[in-house]
Amino acid sequence: MKSADGARGHKYSMVRERIMGLLEDLNVGDPIPPERVLTEDCNVSRLTVRRAVDDLVRDGYLTRRQGSGTYVARPTITQAPTAASFSLGMRQRGLTPATRVLSVEHREAGARLSWRLHVSPSEQVMVIRRLRLADDEPVAVATTHLAESLTPDFPADELEQRSLYEVIEDRYGLKVTGGTQTVEPTVTNPAETDVLKVPPYAPAFLFRTTTHTADGVVVEFTRTVFRGDRYMISATLDISAAPHEDLSYLDQGARAPLLE
C-alpha cells in the first residue's frame, strides 16, 4: 500500500512540476495544454493530471474559464498579517500601488463608532473612503474613521500620495505603534462591487482594524474590504506548546490582505 501511495505521490509531483515549469514561459491569461495533452506528455492518468490542475487552481496559479479551458492566473498577493503600509507592501512585491480618495464626510460617531474610537456618541468623526489599487487594478476599499477632536482638519487629499499613518504622525505627532484586527469572509455589496469591478456578491474579506499609540490613544478605525481573489495569507505556525495536536484544520490557502 505504501509503495502504491508513493508512486501516486511521485506522479502527482511530476505533473505539478511540469505545469509549474510551463508557467515560467507563459504570460497571465495564456492557456495551458489541455488535460489530454498533459496526460500523454507525463504518461500518467487523467485523474492525476486533474488533481494537479485542481490544486494549482486552488493555490492561485491557474484559473478556469467555463467551457474554454485553464489559463495562467494573475499572481495573488501573499502577505503575512502585519501592520505594514499598503504602498510598501505592494512595492516589495514588484507592484505599483495607488490610492484614490472616493469620498469624505463628517458625521456624529453614534454608539457603534464611539465604542471603536473611545469618544462620545456626539463626537464629530471624519469618514474617508479610499480605493486601493495595485498596477492600476482595484484590490480593496477602505473606509477610515477619525475623531475630529484628535485629528482636526485632516487633509484627506494627501492620502492619494502618502500613507495614512505617515500623515497622522507628521501632522499631529501621533505615532501608531499597534492595534487590533479581526477578519471574516464576506461578499461585496453593490457599492463595493462597482468600485472593485468584480461580479455581484463576489467573495471578499472584511478586515476591521483599530490602531493606537504607545499610550493607548485610539487613532483610527478602518473597515477594509479586500477582493478574495487577489490575496493569500502566509503564516508561520508554532506548535511547540502543543506538539501532539492535530493542526490539519488550519487552512494554509486562506486569502488575506494588508492592514493599512
The structural domains of the chain, ordered by start, are 2-72 (1.10.10.10), 77-233 (3.40.1410.10)
* Residue with the three cell numbers 490539519: 248
- Residue 113 contacts residue 145 (beta carbons within 8 Å): yes
Average pLDDT over residues 110-124: 92
Neighbours of 169 (CB within 10 A): 15
- Residue 218 contacts residue 209 (beta carbons within 8 Å): no
SS3 content of the chain, % helix, strand, coil (to 5): 30, 30, 40
Q: Which pLDDT band, with edges at 50, 70 and 90, does 246 fall under?
A: low
Average pLDDT, the chain: 83
- Residue 139 contacts residue 133 (beta carbons within 8 Å): yes
Q: Which pLDDT band, with edges at 50, 70 and 90, does 26 fall under?
A: confident
pLDDT at 219: 96
* Residue with the three cell numbers 469572509: 185
Average pLDDT over residues 25-45: 89
